[in-house]
Amino acid sequence: MPKGKKSPGTLLLEFIDKYDLNCNWLSKEIKCSQTALRLISLDKSRITTSIAVRLAKYFSTKPELWLLAQMDFDLAKAANNKTLAKALKGISKASKAKR
Protein backbone atom coordinates (compact mmCIF):
# COMPACT_ATOMS: atom_id res chain seq x y z
CA MET A 1 0.00 0.00 0.00
CA PRO A 2 1.12 3.56 -0.64
CA LYS A 3 2.37 5.43 2.41
CA GLY A 4 -0.49 6.87 4.45
CA LYS A 5 -3.11 4.72 2.73
CA LYS A 6 -5.01 1.94 4.49
CA SER A 7 -6.16 -1.27 2.91
CA PRO A 8 -9.92 -1.86 2.93
CA GLY A 9 -9.44 -4.66 5.46
CA THR A 10 -7.38 -2.48 7.78
CA LEU A 11 -9.98 0.27 7.57
CA LEU A 12 -12.78 -2.18 8.36
CA LEU A 13 -10.86 -3.66 11.30
CA GLU A 14 -10.23 -0.18 12.69
CA PHE A 15 -13.96 0.56 12.68
CA ILE A 16 -14.76 -2.84 14.15
CA ASP A 17 -12.21 -2.21 16.90
CA LYS A 18 -13.32 1.38 17.51
CA TYR A 19 -16.92 0.28 18.08
CA ASP A 20 -15.95 -2.91 19.94
CA LEU A 21 -17.63 -5.19 17.39
CA ASN A 22 -16.82 -8.45 15.62
CA CYS A 23 -17.45 -9.53 12.03
CA ASN A 24 -20.25 -11.90 13.02
CA TRP A 25 -22.24 -9.25 14.86
CA LEU A 26 -21.57 -6.57 12.22
CA SER A 27 -22.62 -8.88 9.41
CA LYS A 28 -26.00 -9.37 11.09
CA GLU A 29 -26.39 -5.63 11.62
CA ILE A 30 -25.70 -4.74 7.99
CA LYS A 31 -27.40 -7.84 6.60
CA CYS A 32 -24.51 -9.40 4.73
CA SER A 33 -22.59 -12.64 5.06
CA GLN A 34 -20.08 -13.08 7.85
CA THR A 35 -17.73 -14.73 5.36
CA ALA A 36 -17.84 -11.65 3.11
CA LEU A 37 -16.82 -9.35 5.97
CA ARG A 38 -14.16 -11.74 7.23
CA LEU A 39 -12.61 -11.97 3.73
CA ILE A 40 -12.70 -8.17 3.37
CA SER A 41 -11.01 -7.81 6.76
CA LEU A 42 -8.21 -10.08 5.48
CA ASP A 43 -7.99 -8.16 2.16
CA LYS A 44 -8.92 -11.36 0.34
CA SER A 45 -12.19 -9.99 -1.02
CA ARG A 46 -13.19 -6.61 -2.41
CA ILE A 47 -15.55 -4.10 -0.86
CA THR A 48 -18.49 -4.00 -3.25
CA THR A 49 -20.74 -0.99 -3.73
CA SER A 50 -23.45 -2.78 -1.78
CA ILE A 51 -21.17 -3.45 1.19
CA ALA A 52 -19.78 0.11 1.02
CA VAL A 53 -23.28 1.57 1.22
CA ARG A 54 -24.17 -0.71 4.15
CA LEU A 55 -20.98 0.11 6.05
CA ALA A 56 -21.46 3.83 5.36
CA LYS A 57 -25.01 3.73 6.70
CA TYR A 58 -24.02 1.77 9.81
CA PHE A 59 -20.90 3.80 10.67
CA SER A 60 -22.30 7.19 9.51
CA THR A 61 -19.61 7.61 6.86
CA LYS A 62 -19.81 8.06 3.12
CA PRO A 63 -19.70 5.08 0.76
CA GLU A 64 -16.81 6.84 -0.97
CA LEU A 65 -14.61 6.26 2.10
CA TRP A 66 -14.91 2.50 1.61
CA LEU A 67 -14.81 2.53 -2.18
CA LEU A 68 -11.79 4.83 -2.32
CA ALA A 69 -9.94 2.58 0.11
CA GLN A 70 -10.70 -0.33 -2.22
CA MET A 71 -9.65 1.62 -5.31
CA ASP A 72 -6.37 2.74 -3.71
CA PHE A 73 -5.66 -0.86 -2.68
CA ASP A 74 -6.41 -2.16 -6.19
CA LEU A 75 -4.21 0.49 -7.82
CA ALA A 76 -1.33 -0.26 -5.44
CA LYS A 77 -1.60 -3.96 -6.33
CA ALA A 78 -1.70 -3.10 -10.04
CA ALA A 79 1.39 -0.92 -9.71
CA ASN A 80 3.30 -3.96 -8.42
CA ASN A 81 1.90 -6.41 -10.99
CA LYS A 82 4.75 -7.47 -13.29
CA THR A 83 2.46 -9.04 -15.88
CA LEU A 84 0.47 -5.82 -16.16
CA ALA A 85 3.66 -3.75 -16.36
CA LYS A 86 4.88 -5.92 -19.24
CA ALA A 87 1.54 -5.54 -21.05
CA LEU A 88 1.57 -1.76 -20.57
CA LYS A 89 4.93 -1.49 -22.34
CA GLY A 90 3.25 -2.68 -25.52
CA ILE A 91 0.41 -0.15 -25.41
CA SER A 92 0.90 3.13 -27.24
CA LYS A 93 -0.79 6.41 -26.34
CA ALA A 94 -3.93 7.59 -28.11
CA SER A 95 -3.56 9.98 -31.01
CA LYS A 96 -5.81 11.14 -33.80
CA ALA A 97 -6.95 8.33 -36.01
CA LYS A 98 -4.29 7.07 -38.35
CA ARG A 99 -5.78 6.31 -41.73
Q: Is the pLDDT of residue 3 over 90?
A: no
Q: What is each CA distance from 85 to 10, 32, 64, 90, in whole angstroms?
A: 27, 36, 28, 9
Q: What percent of the chain has pLDDT over 90?
A: 70
| Structure-model confidence comparison of residues 83 and 52, the more confident one | 52
Sign of the Cα torsion 67, 71, 76, 82 reads positive
67 HSE (CA, 13 A, CB side): 11
pTM: 0.83
